[in-house]
Amino acid sequence: MTAYDTIIVGAGSAGCVLANRLSQDLDRKVLLIEAGPPGGHLYIRMPAAVAMAIGSKKFNWHYQTTPQTHMNGRRVSTPRGKALGGSSAINALVYVRGNAYDYDHWAEMGCAGWSYADVLPYFRATENNAFGSGAYHGSEGPLVVSHPESENPAFKAFINAGVELGYPYNPDNNGETQEGFGPFQLNIKDGRRWSSANAFLHPIAQRKNLTVMTDQQVLGLRTDGTKVTGVKLANSRNIELISAETVILSAGSIGSPHLMMLSGIGPADALRQHKIDVAADLPGVGQNLHDHLEVKVKFRMTKPLSLWRHMQFPNYLLAGAQYLFTGTGVCRQQGLEAGAFLSLDPNSPAPNTQLHFINALAFDGATADDRGHGFAIDTTQTRPESRGSLSLASADPRSAPLIDPNYLAEEKDRVMMRDGLKMLRELCAQPSLAALCGDELRPGRGVTTDAQLDEVVRNTADSIYHPVGTARMGTDDMSVVDPATMAVHGTQGLFVADASVMPQLVSGNTNAASIMIGAKGSDLILDQIR
């Protein structure tokens, strides 16, 4: 039986950071296991290919939710990355930390040591930011954070329309303030995706004490009572057992709680229903699932400023060839380079709405109506109140779990999405954007009443792929992970560090926060195992 000091399950946004930090001690034997491939494919490297990366059967787990009660029974796509870099290998490359309020609220919720003042040093230490070094940014870290290259007038029209509507221009939503319209920062280096694997794993690939396994699925944890002693690994013929002093789950908000429950760590009654022996009764495992839901307005463009012409045959072949052979051209961008953070509720302690401007009618899945020049803007409630759960469909580790975010269960969430659509219409009526707006494709000019807008939300809203919270940090009875150590309550030798530990969503895209969790979590875990 092969033995290691530490096994890390999942080479995603946080897992690659963990592998880097824990293997710095050359006397520690570290194993990093990833279910997907190495991830060097063109679809992953090329920013413009993000829709193809997400659509790939090779690089995406392709989860779906259960039928959503408050969305007319629709199942909602829940992509999760399956390659070195995890979801940072297939995401839209947007680098957003969230709001200072988010982390201060975590601390108020029982996660001492996770306030904004506590986590800011980790954001600064991990990044090589185009803004340079300062109070809010670092320039010595391996994670490249760049400015958009595009000077497309459509992005400028969106930002200018926001200013015309009365919001501030904000060139740095990761700086002192988050509110306002402006460009997004991106994880792109020299026109290439800069995933967590690129930043934290590839530079240390030659460390002799670090073993990286790809295309290997962990089926469960090895346990001896409440002590975790290793993992069960699938190979071509049988199950391989690998032992370790410590195991760190970094398989994300879907994978980490799923593996715990398969291994007898979770709600005891639910585990017994699947004839799984209970190692630790933790009712909070799989609970607190929540996600960012978005709904779009779509307009045809009066000017040919979108990415449409590059998406047609043979133009996309020519653009791909230009990128492949010269590293130049439109394929260096992903079409999502500007956005906004604002409050639709005057009583909100921080911006509660995020906008993404998409320079095409569709970003990651087109319909027949998404042809021709046009743009889309989505509105997202950054801190939704609805909570759902993740549970076992079967004791078979190869069966996907039941994913129920319970979208729109809370009235406030429904109102926020409706108000977001109204605000987007106001935005598109401002002079800078109005000049580009042709026909309104969604919601459609005939949609005017609250009831009609609510139906548009139920029928068209989608996830923007930020599930969190299923192994949340805390000290109460429903928490799963100790915020001071990253250890799983009621177990020995088991830790979690990924987006599943977030007690509440951050106000923005979750990749940056997940990387921070990997960095801070590394320090906390090392304090326990040294």
pLDDT at residue 236 in the model:
66
Residue 104 lies in a domain: no
Residue 123 in domain: no
Nearest 10 degrees: CA dihedral of 451, 452, 453, 459? 110
Query: Within this chain, do residues 161 and 191 fall inside the same structural domain, yes or no?
Result: no
| pLDDT confidence of residue 365 | 62
pLDDT of residue 470: 99
- Beta-sheet strands, E only, within 73-214: 77-78, 94-95, 127-129, 143-145, 180-183, 185-186, 188-189, 192-193, 210-213
d(C-alpha 134, C-alpha 516), whole Å: 18
Closest CA to 246 of 530, 14, 1, 529: 529
Same domain, 174 and 225: no
For residue 364, the model assigns a pLDDT of: 66
At residue 296, what is the residue type? K
The token pair that represents 212 in the structure block: 């990286």
Q: How far is CA 260 from the centre of its chain?
A: 21
Regarding whether 314 and 171 lie in a shared domain, the answer is yes
Query: Is the domain of 373 the same as that of 444?
Result: yes
352 and 314 co-located in one domain: yes
- Within-domain flag for 129: no
Q: Provide the domain count of the chain.
A: 2
CA distance from start to end of the chain: 24
Task: Give the gyration radius of the chain's Cα atoms.
Answer: 22
Residues 236 and 352 in one domain: no
The whole-number pLDDT of residue 310 equals 86
Count CB neighbours of 495 within 10 A: 26
- CA 284, CA 266: separation in Å to the nearest integer? 7
Among 464, 466, 468, smallest CA distance to 500 is for 468
What's the pTM? 0.97
Domain that holds residue 265: 1-91+186-286+467-530
Task: Give the pLDDT score at 142.
Answer: 98
Do 161 and 17 share a structural domain?
A: no
- Residue of 393, 114, 86, 436 lying closest to 253 (CA atoms): 86
In a domain, 127, yes or no: no
pLDDT of 109: 97
Tell me if 389 is assigned to some domain: no
Number of C-beta neighbours around residue 445 at 10 A: 9
CA dist 379 and 390 (Å) reads 25
HSE toward the beta carbon, residue 34, CA cutoff 13 A: 29
Model pLDDT, residue 367: 62
Q: What are the DSSP E strand ranges found in 72-161? A: 77-78, 94-95, 127-129, 143-145
What lies within 8 Å, CB to CB, of 59 at 6+ separation is: 36, 37, 39, 41, 43, 44, 53, 81, 82, 83, 89, 90
| 83 and 207 both lie in a single domain | yes
Tokens 């088991």, residue located: 494
Which CATH number belongs to the domain containing residue 337 in this structure?
Answer: 3.30.410.40
Question: What size, in residues, is the chain?
Answer: 530
Per-residue confidence in pLDDT tens, the chain, 530 aa: 579 999 999 999 999 999 999 999 999 999 999 999 999 999 999 999 999 999 999 999 999 999 999 999 999 999 999 999 999 999 999 999 999 999 999 999 999 999 999 999 999 999 999 999 999 999 999 999 999 998 899 999 999 999 999 999 999 999 999 999 999 999 999 999 999 999 999 999 999 999 999 999 999 999 999 999 999 998 767 788 999 999 999 999 999 999 999 999 999 999 999 999 999 999 999 999 999 999 999 999 999 999 888 888 898 999 999 999 999 999 999 999 999 999 998 899 999 999 999 999 887 665 656 788 999 999 999 999 999 999 999 999 999 999 999 999 999 999 999 999 999 999 999 999 999 999 999 999 999 999 999 999 999 999 999 999 999 999 999 999 999 999 999 999 999 999 999 999 999 999 999 999 999 999 999 999 98
- What b/e string do you get for 183-206 counting C-beta neighbours within 10 Å, with b at 16 or more? bbbbbbeebbbbbbbbbbbbebee
Q: Which of 428, 444, 460 is where one domain is finished?
A: 460
pLDDT at 92: 96
In a domain, 403, yes or no: no
Q: Is the residue at 124 inside a domain? A: no
Q: Which one is catalytic: 258, 310, 466, 489?
A: 466
Query: Which pLDDT value is given to residue 371?
Result: 84
Residues 177 and 190 in one domain: no
Residues 302 and 371 in one domain: yes
174 and 298, same domain (yes or no): yes
Told to judge if 310 belongs to the known catalytic residues of this protein, a careful annotator would answer no
CA distance 353 to 351: 6
Nearest-angstrom CA–CA distance, 163 and 151: 18
Task: Give a yes or no: residue 392 inside a domain.
Answer: no
Query: How wide is the angle at C-alpha 519 spanned by C-alphas 28 and 402, nearest 5°?
Result: 100
Q: What are the residues facing 300 on neighbouring strands?
A: 374
The CATH code of the domain that includes 201 is 3.50.50.60
Same-domain check for residues 456 and 511: no
